[in-house]
Amino acid sequence: MLKTQAEQLLDVKIEDYEHFISDLAIDKKIVIKKNVAEDNSDTTDEDEHNQWNVYSAMYYRMEQNVAKICLNLIYSVMRMLKMYMKELLTLKNRKYRA
């Protein structure tokens, strides 16, 4: 799909595009990730290239950083909720003892 879109955009036939993608990945301008699918048993060699996703490195790293920040926020909120629940249980136990 990437090859087809690049050929349409540039209006040229690209014979060996994997060389260019490898160069861009080495230069860290793109990030290549394998697409995780549940069932890969019926894939062919033709489908092998369709299982890879190519991302702009800048946007990939930016999204990765946002995901880390969100996870840290979730962990912080969970810790605070745990602390408040513990405090509420302590207050509830004091009330029933009195």
List of residues 6+ apart from 6 with CB closer than 8 A: 14, 17
DSSP SS3 for 37: coil
The answer to whether 43 touches 51, Cβ cutoff 8 Å, is yes
pTM above 0.75, yes or no: no
What's the CA dihedral at 19, 52, 26, 12 to 10 degrees? 40
Pair of tokens at residue 65? 């950083």
Query: Which are the contacts of 82, defined by CB distance < 8 A and separation ≥ 6?
Result: none
What is the tens place of the pLDDT at every residue in 19-72? 878 888 899 998 988 887 655 555 555 555 568 788 899 999 999 999 999 999
